[in-house]
């Protein structure tokens, strides 16, 4: 095999609870990760030597600042392969809470492992990934999973009832660090609709869509909404256009609205696109 093309799926958080602050300054989380069909695409081909990265689509850093480069470098230095050329077709909006960079890194680990027959298991690749980012292990495994710790301690869950989603990203990105600092400074800013993780887990196990939707929520939403009121405006627009629920992704600022089906998702997206060009119709995987 000389080259390989793989998808790098984004994620949303069906529920996200922020727990205590850790001695290392990060926060423990409890979150239900969910892969979505919106994806970047990576093509990896054998090269005599070195790491070569090209990107197309949404602009992202090139060279060592890109998580794709870091993931390839890690496998090259630890397991040895001559060289690789990677083309990243970027579609997932960066700095949106959709784990775009983490997903690209995970896809790089999977593709390089296959291309050069390195023989690492998905579990080993997830452990390689955690050194580069806490969301990467989930992106290696994909599907639906409960994440604890910084999100890297994973328990795989059954598939959720299929959900059609309208994803809306405002023109700005947010810094995850700023959001957690505001969280620490303002513990009173709880969300209006807090996540109900226990109920969500029970709903996933019983395949109960209605119960799952009622349990969705994100602790960080109130914080990001105060820092960036446009996130509230997006939530309200999604609900006004008919979404059953609208919840922020990760630390934001992207918001996902849940539609009754594909047709309604496309109708809602067409309305939102007038104001927010970065609006996508997607679904859970």
How does DSSP assign 142-154, residue by residue?
-SEEEEETTTTEE
Size of the site for ligand ATP (CB under 6 A): 19
Cβ atoms within 10 Å, residue 226: 13
By CB under 6 A, name the one of 98, 255, 272, 281 that touches ligand ATP: 98
Is 160 a residue that touches ligand ATP (CB under 6 A)?
A: no
Q: Which is nearer to ligand ATP, 182 or 202 (CB)?
A: 182
Residue 85 bears catalytic tag: no
Catalytic one of 135, 169, 219, 235:
135
Residue 233 main-chain phi, psi, to 5 deg: -60, -40
Radius of gyration of the chain (CA): 19
Rounded Cα distance between 214 and 39, Å, is 27
Binding mask 162-201 for ligand ATP (x = CB under 6 A): --------------x-------------------------
Q: Report if residue 101 touches ligand ATP, rule: CB under 6 A.
A: yes
Long-range contacts of 204-209 (CB under 8 A, 24+ apart): 204/32, 204/144, 204/157, 204/158, 204/160, 205/157, 205/158, 207/158, 207/161, 208/161, 209/161, 209/163
Whether omega before 124 lies within 30 degrees of 0, making that bond cis, reads: no
One of 60, 167, 179, 269 touching ligand ATP (CB under 6 A): 60
Is there a contact between 144 and 157 (Cβ–Cβ < 8 Å)?
A: yes
For residues 235 and 222, what is the distance between their CA atoms, to the nearest angstrom?
A: 12
Q: Compute how many other C-beta atoms are within 10 angstroms of the C-beta atom of residue 153.
A: 16
For ligand ATP, give the closer residue by CB, 92 or 243: 92
Answer for which of 135, 152, 196, 221 binds ligand ATP (CB under 6 A) is 135
Q: Among 78-86, 95-103, 238-246, 261-269, which window interacts with ligand ATP (CB under 6 A)? A: 95-103
Q: Where are the alpha helices (DSSP H) in the chain?
A: 67-79, 100-115, 122-130, 136-141, 176-185, 197-206, 209-215, 221-227, 230-240, 262-273
Here's the x/- map for ligand ATP, 212-251, by CB under 6 A: it reads as --------------------------------------x-
Nearer to ligand ATP by Cβ, of 40 and 197: the residue is 40
Q: Is 219 a catalytic residue?
A: no
Q: Which of 11, 90, 169, 235 is catalytic?
A: 11
Binder among 29, 33, 38, 100 for ligand ATP (CB under 6 A): 100
Nearer to ligand ATP, 34 or 66 (CB): 66
Which residues does the annotation mark as catalytic?
11, 135
What is the binding site for ligand ATP (CB under 6 A)?
Answer: 60-61, 65-68, 94-102, 104, 135, 176, 250
């Amino acid at each position: 095999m000389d080259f390989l093309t793989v998808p790098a799926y984004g994620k949303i958080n069906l529920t996200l609870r922020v727990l205590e602050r850790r001695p290392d300054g990060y926060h423990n989380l409890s979150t239900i990760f969910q892969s979505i069909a919106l994806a970047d695409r990576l093509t990896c081909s054998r090269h005599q030597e070195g790491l070569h990265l090209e990107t197309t689509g949404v602009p992202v850093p090139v060279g060592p600042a890109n998580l794709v480069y870091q993931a390839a470098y890690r496998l090259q230095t630890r397991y040895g392969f001559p060289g690789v050329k990677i083309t990243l077709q970027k579609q997932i909006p960066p700095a949106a809470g959709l784990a775009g960079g983490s997903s690209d890194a995970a896809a790089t680990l999977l593709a390089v492992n296959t291309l050069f027959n390195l023989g690492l298991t998905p579990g080993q690749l997830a452990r390689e990934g955690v050194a580069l980012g806490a969301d990467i292990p989930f992106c290696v495994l994909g599907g639906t999973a409960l994440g604890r710790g910084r999100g890297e301690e994973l328990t795989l869950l059954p598939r959720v009832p299929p959900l059609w989603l309208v994803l809306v990203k405002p023109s700005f990105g947010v810094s995850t660090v700023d959001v957690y600092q505001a969280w620490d400074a303002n513990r009173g800013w709880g969300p209006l609709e807090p996540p109900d993780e226990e109920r969500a887990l029970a709903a996933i196990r019983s395949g109960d869509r209605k119960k799952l939707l009622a349990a969705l929520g994100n602790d960080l939403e109130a914080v990001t909404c105060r820092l960036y009121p446009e996130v509230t405006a997006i939530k309200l627009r999604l609900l006004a256009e008919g979404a059953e629920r609208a919840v922020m992704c990760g630390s934001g600022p992207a918001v996902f609205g849940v539609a009754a089906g594909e047709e309604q998702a496309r109708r809602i997206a067409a309305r939102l696109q007038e104001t927010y060009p970065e609006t996508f119709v997607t679904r859970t995987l």
